[in-house]
Amino acid sequence: MASNFGQLFRISTWGESHGGGVGVVVDGCPSKVALTEKDIQVDLDRRRPGQSKIVTPRKEADQCEILSGVFQGKTLGTPIAILVRNTDARPEAYTEMQTMFRPSHADFTYQSKYGIRNWEGGGRSSARETIGRVAAAAVAKQYFKQVLPKLEVVAYVKQVHKLVANADPHEVSFKEIESNIVRWPDANDAERVIKLIEKVRKQGDSVGGIIECVIRNAPVGLGEPVFDRMEADLGKAMLSLPASKGFEIGSGFGCTTLKGSEHNDEFYMAKGRVRTRSNRSGGVQGGITNGEDIVFRVAFKPVATLIQAQKTVTIDGKNATLKARGRHDPCVLPRAVPMVEAMANLVLVDHYLRQKAVS
């Protein structure tokens, strides 16, 4: 297990979907940052189950408690421990998981690696694990409010199954995204996506999609070549999210169809600043931010747990058929939006502090 992330703004997450709870310890957050539980709760609420009709109905308030590191509303510079209790656990809905492996889920690999697993729900592989990430990122966001007030990290659902959103990453607004339950950047177009997800849910099936994220007004100079390039750390962060299968930045996989003369971003001067006319680089050149918008996309597969019969094997190596019960998201994308934002904030804050150290 490696549940630590970040070098200077270091987080340690913990917790299973069923058990005492989930949480995080944030070490390395600068002192004197304004922080209350409310600042964290707002993002946990965007992530929590039961928030709309298209997500899992598991009833979790996901109420957070700050256990340390804050005094009279300010961070102390000491570790910030945040706890969220599990309240609506229903292990009885998972009894068949005790002996059977869900196809494309983590059951088999956890069992193989650890020789044991908490079969009551997804255990550590549950998306519930991301609560700690979202809480930690909320702390980072409070710090950024102080030191980079213009920084914006905005994620949204770009694609669900074959439905693609019309969205300009440089223009899309947080308000519009949050105005609809899919977190679709073109709110007027959201209804057809909602309908698709509802239909899929009724079929006991699931769909995947793509989340796009834009970071605006990041400083020039973040990213640490050669291994901790900005795109490498963003990529790792996103690919560490449950169900992610791909990451691309700027032109991404589409870069292959252009020649260098078509792909290069020309430099020009604007208001005394070096700018690029196009942004196929996605805001990063040579692994370091260039001041343009950072734009990247993350592919999420359809949720593995289905309310359909599937062929599988048992823990004793026998062929079997599994039809899951439990409460599951038919489409992870709407709730993955705050997770993507969270990981982006965590990468940024760590690189911001790393650059501050040497400049």
Footprint on residues 226-285 left by its own copies (CB under 8 A):
226-229, 231-240, 242, 244-253, 255-261, 263-269, 272, 274, 276, 280-282, 284-285
Stretch that binds its own copies, among 42-50, 56-64, 109-117, 173-181 (CB under 8 A): 109-117
Task: Judge contact between 211 and 158, C-beta under 8 A.
Answer: yes
- Smallest distance from the beta carbon of 292 to its own copies, in angstroms? 11
Residue with Cβ nearer its own copies (38 or 253): 253
Rounded Cα gap, residues 250 and 259, in angstroms: 15
Residue with Cβ nearer its own copies (109 or 174): 109
Contact positions with its own copies (CB under 8 A) in 29-68: 29-32, 65-68
Q: Could you tell me the two tokens for 43?
A: 């993002």
Q: Give the N- to C-terminal CA distance of the chain in Å, as an integer.
A: 34
Residue with Cβ nearer its own copies (65 or 173): 65
List, in order, residues 6 or more apart from 155 with CB less than 8 Å away.
177, 183, 211, 212, 213, 214, 337, 338, 340, 341, 344
Q: What is the number of other CB atoms lying within 10 angstroms of the CB of residue 145?
A: 13
Residue with Cβ nearer its own copies (145 or 245): 245
Which of 40, 80, 134, 172 lies at the binding interface for its own copies (CB under 8 A)?
80
| Residue 99 interacting with its own copies (CB under 8 A) | no
| Residue 289 interacting with its own copies (CB under 8 A) | yes
Taking residues 193 to 222 in sequence order and writing x for each that binds its own copies by CB under 8 A, - otherwise, the string is -------x----xxxxxx---------xx-
Task: Judge contact between 223 and 351, C-beta under 8 A.
Answer: yes
CA gyration radius, the chain: 21
Q: What is the number of other CB atoms lying within 10 angstroms of the CB of residue 28?
A: 16
| Residue 319 interacting with its own copies (CB under 8 A) | yes
